[in-house]
Structure 1
Amino acid sequence: MPTALITGITGQDGLYLSELLLAKGYEVHGIVRGQNNPKRDLVRRTVPDVHLHTGDLTDLSSLIRAMATAQPDEVYNLGAVSFVAYSWENARVTTDVTGNGVLNVLEAVRLYCGDDLSRVRYYQASSSEMFGKVQEVPQRESTLLWPRSPYGVAKVFGHYMTINYRESYGMHASSGILFNHESPRRGPEFVTRKVSMAVARIAEGRQDKLVMGNLDAQRDWGFAGDYVEGMWRMLQQPEADDYVLATGETHSIRDLLDVAFAHVGIDDWSGRVEQDPRFMRPAEVDLLVGDASKARDRLGWTPTVGFEDLVRMMVDADLALLRAER
């Protein structure tokens, strides 16, 4: 039975990845920050067979202890301060966790492996936000990185640190450059979930308006459940490498609103959505769309859930949550 250790297990990717690995017969361990983290119960309810350890990406000693206890064959570093807007408000914390945290996990893996660096295969959650002010359309593994947020800068540091450990120590360390991937498990602060929750509330008569920022930003949106399959496939390869995971399609925030509102029978949402400069980024990322041909050719990975089905899935899930509260 292979063993996996996951940081960031309380997030949507961590939960989907845990389910995937358990279904494949893995013993799964997860690191949760803080002894009284309220999300610990979420993990226990969703994936009760996961073994949880207390740890922190900024505390190398806690990561070393978790490695020694879990004895993993694979390590998936999904932990981060991942809300881009927050990274401007607290760039230092974002840098410490999302950037320096990667170095800590890599170092914990290296120290755990000792002279046998083939003992562990490592996955780093890189991000399409690293492309920022895009220099090429679509973006691929070789595209110049030009991040436009503290979050993106921190992700670039972690990405190149992963490459450095692979090239310096021969570690089987791969990075997945994942474009936006969403699900009903997405946090309410993210734009897709903000929209699906608001649309559900408006449909149920519990909310009148949705306040948004830039409606013209374009993203490549896929389903998180598809993307964790790609993470796992990367670590099954004989050689470590970096891969873009994306749908290859781009949609605007307006497209997102069109599909979400239409799903609840509202064709004209113009009177229900307001724009507020407070929700605008200081430096916007206007267009992200990925070329996942390398992942398709080498990993056999393709997304299975399209944009419209994804949006409808999220709205339906939020409607179900609201109706369960009655």
Structure 2
Amino acid sequence: MKTVFVLGCNGQDGTLMCKSLLEKKLKVIGLTRKSTKDLSNHVKIGIRGEVEIIHGDINNFKTILNLIEKYRPNVIYNLAAQSSVGKSFSEPIETIETIVSGTINILEACKQLSFDGSLFFAGSSEIFGNTEKPADINYKQNPLNPYSIGKQSSFNLVKMYRESNNINCVTGVLCNHESQLRSDEFVTQKIISGALKCSLNKSHKLELGNIDVARDWGWAAEYVEAMQRIANTEKPTDYVICTGKLNKLKTFIKIAFNKLDLNWENHINSNKNLYRKTDIKQNFGDPTRLKNDLDWEAKIHLEEIIEKLIEHKIKEY
């Protein structure tokens, strides 16, 4: 039986990755920070107790080295990091440390151990900044926040170790992807929760920043399948994981409120005090290479994503 490591096993992507791997009858070992003993996401999707959980810090090199040496996994997915762009402005040191230190620790441990498995690192389309056209893997990079600066450094480290040390490591550059496991610090969940509150209280108002920004939104459960295809290719190659569809946040809001028979304009305040000085106006990817090479493409798009988020949130309530 193949053994797979999932680092950051309790986050959105880590939890969904664990579920997908378990369904494929693989042995899954999950790493989560010692301070993070809450496995609520595993409970939500019904996998509590099915993953072998190890509490450890990805920023500790010896921890990573010892774990890889002990278990010798076939595949390692590094999905661990502080992943909120907004939070990265208030916690830049922690954000960059969790991304960059984690990446270099894994790569260097694998180098020293002559690891012959494959490594997947979760990247972010935020490294491109504003995209004038759909971004492929060679699109110019212009990170505009601490989170994307950390992801850009990780991307370059992975490429360097692959080319210099012949390590089977890749980055999947992920555009925005959502699920019921996102916390309310993410604007999409804030909108869904806010819309439901407005349906219960017609006088409720929701304060948001710039609602004219546009993103490429996908469904996270689909994206973990793309990650696995990328990790298991014979020739290690970086890919952009995306839908290729660009939508404004205003469109997201309108669809969500329409689903609940509400007029969004009666409930949304766009507060300029909440605008970020370096906010990305639009960011979307080009899925062509992933489709041509690995026959993967997103099937779930914005309206269905929003329907799923509302359905899950109602169940929670």
Q: Output the TM-score relative to the length of structure 2.
A: 0.95
Alpha-carbon offset, residue 278 of structure 1 = 4.0
Paired position in structure 2 for 1:12? 12
Residue in structure 2 matching 1:231, options 224, 227, 236: 227
Paired position in structure 2 for 1:293? 288
Paired position in structure 2 for 1:40? 39
Structure 2 distance, partners of 1:302, 1:42, is 26
Q: Greater CA deviation, 143-152 or 68-77?
A: 68-77
Structure 1 distance, partners of 2:273, 2:21, is 40
Whether 1:244 and 2:245 are equivalent positions in the alignment is: no
Whether 1:317 and 2:312 are equivalent positions in the alignment is: yes
Letter in 1 for 2:83: S
Structure 2 distance, partners of 1:90, 1:12, is 20
Paired position in structure 2 for 1:123? 120
Structure 1 unpaired stretches of 5+: none
Q: Greater CA deviation, 157-166 or 9-18?
A: 9-18
Structure 2 distance, partners of 1:199, 1:109, is 46
Q: Greater CA deviation, 102-111 or 224-233?
A: 102-111
**Aligned residues of 1:98 and 1:158 also touching (Cα < 8 A):** yes
Q: Secondary structure at the match of 1:297?
A: helix
Alpha-carbon offset, residue 200 of structure 1 = 1.6
Structure 2 distance, partners of 1:58, 1:107, is 12
Structure 2 distance, partners of 1:104, 1:181, is 26
Q: Greater CA deviation, 84-93 or 204-213?
A: 204-213
Letter in 2 for 1:280: Y
Paired position in structure 2 for 1:145? 141
**Aligned residues of 2:203 and 2:267 also touching (Cα < 8 A):** no
What are the equivalent positions in structure 2 for 1:83-94 lying under 5 Å apart? Answer: 83-94=84-95
Structure 2 distance, partners of 1:11, 1:276, is 30
- Percent of pairs with identical residues: 28
What are the equivalent positions in structure 2 for 1:155-174 lying under 5 Å apart? Answer: 155-174=151-170
Paired position in structure 1 for 2:61? 60
Structure 2 unpaired stretches of 5+: none
Paired position in structure 1 for 2:104? 103
Structure 1 distance, partners of 2:126, 2:99, is 13
**Aligned residues of 1:222 and 1:307 also touching (Cα < 8 A):** yes
Whether 1:264 and 2:265 are equivalent positions in the alignment is: no
**Aligned residues of 2:11 and 2:41 also touching (Cα < 8 A):** no
Q: Greater CA deviation, 62-71 or 88-97?
A: 62-71
Structure 2 distance, partners of 1:31, 1:5, is 8
What are the equivalent positions in structure 2 for 1:15-34 lying under 5 Å apart? Answer: 15-34=15-34
Alpha-carbon offset, residue 40 of structure 1 = 3.1
What are the equivalent positions in structure 2 for 1:68-87 lying under 5 Å apart? Answer: 68-87=69-88
Whether 1:308 and 2:303 are equivalent positions in the alignment is: yes
Structure 1 distance, partners of 2:244, 2:39, is 35
Alpha-carbon offset, residue 41 of structure 1 = 5.0
Structure 1 distance, partners of 2:280, 2:314, is 30
Letter in 1 for 2:65: I
Alpha-carbon offset, residue 109 of structure 1 = 2.4
Alpha-carbon offset, residue 207 of structure 1 = 7.5
Structure 1 distance, partners of 2:274, 2:223, is 28
Alpha-carbon offset, residue 38 of structure 1 = 3.9
Q: Output the TM-score relative to the length of structure 1.
A: 0.93
Structure 1 distance, partners of 2:250, 2:130, is 21
**Aligned residues of 1:137 and 1:289 also touching (Cα < 8 A):** yes
Paired position in structure 2 for 1:175? 171
Deviations 1:167-204, CA, capped at 9 Å, x for gaps: 01111111101100001111211111111111122223
Paired position in structure 1 for 2:208? 212
In the alignment of these two chains, the number of paired residues is: 315
Deviations 1:289-318, CA, capped at 9 Å, x for gaps: 110111001111011211100011101111
Structure 2 distance, partners of 1:130, 1:220, is 14
> Aligned pair in 2 of structure 1 residues 41, 186: CA closer, same or farther (>3 Å)?
closer
> Aligned pair in 2 of structure 1 residues 44, 314: CA closer, same or farther (>3 Å)?
closer
Alpha-carbon offset, residue 100 of structure 1 = 2.2
Paired position in structure 1 for 2:276? 281
Q: Secondary structure at the match of 1:304?
A: coil
Deviations 1:118-140, CA, capped at 9 Å, x for gaps: x2100010100000133x41111
